[in-house]
Structure 1
Amino acid sequence: MFDIIEDDLSGEDTRQLLALHLAGMHADSPPGSVFALDLSGLQVPEVTVWTARRNGRVASVGALKMLQNGGAEVKSMRTHPDFLRQGAAACLLDVIIAEAKRRDVKRLSLETGSGPAFEPALALYRRHGFRNGPPFASYDQTAFNQFLHLAII
């Protein structure tokens, strides 16, 4: 259905989807509440980025960031508007979870916002077993953000 590839972020289509992601995060979040990584933040050794593609077109992007404590974080999940609700993000999240298991991660976490714009992503994460929990890494709890965790066995 989708081809999942590790992405080096050099392609214009991936960069455009990441720019759309950042713009969406800023549009749907209060000032100071966006923790999405920009391109330079995704190009560090502890982050691996994948894209889901169909017929050569980028459908979705997502990343795995390794944390200092042996945990990991899901970052930069975004689906292109042309591919919404076609399973691209679910395929990509399956790959991210599998890679976390391969790397012996015990807990996979993510930080996201609240409100209608975030509900489809929250539903996806919950279908994959993520549950709400406490802040992690250097995040602070606010009235807007929430934290989800998946125990990996």
Structure 2
Amino acid sequence: MFKGSRGIRVLFAGFAGGAAIGAMALFGGGTASADTTCSAANNNRVEHADGLSHCIANAGPGSRADARDTSNSGVATAVATQRGKATSINLQPGSQALSSGVRGGNAYSFSTGPRSTSISMARDGGTSVAVGGWGGQAYAGPQGAMCAGGFGAAYDSTTGQYCVKSGSIDIH
């Protein structure tokens, strides 16, 4: 188990976010079909399905939720309440990205590899980031951070926990 100071946690959060953005740039625009995109704010709910692609964005009063599936066969779901923000982006087939932001929390979930799952649950003004890669699972939320499978990275600012899992590399 690898433990570090606050600076290492901030560095990891930046790395996880940068990795997700880089993966979106590499894998996000490869198909000819349109994205399935849902955005909701201030007590609204939006849901779209296009074949096997599905997105749901549900936002309570003062909240914002954005969900996007670019894979044509995956799910992106974002739920925000009590001034929370949630963003879920699924880039690969057979994968799902789920996020929940409550009480001012900011949640970000990215599924960047096939057959991956990312779940982030931010609360109380904190930030949670989960990135599921090829066959990997990532969770960031009230139980901390958990990574499994092929590739996963997660960070939860409220608990201060993070993890990276890639093959035999397993950092907590």
Fold similarity call, TM over 0.5:
no
> Relative contact order: is structure 1 or structure 2 higher (C-alpha 8 Å, sep ≥ 6)?
1
Which structure has the highest helix share of the two?
A: 1
TM-score by structure 2 length? 0.28
Which structure has the highest strand share of the two?
A: 2
TM-score by structure 1 length? 0.30
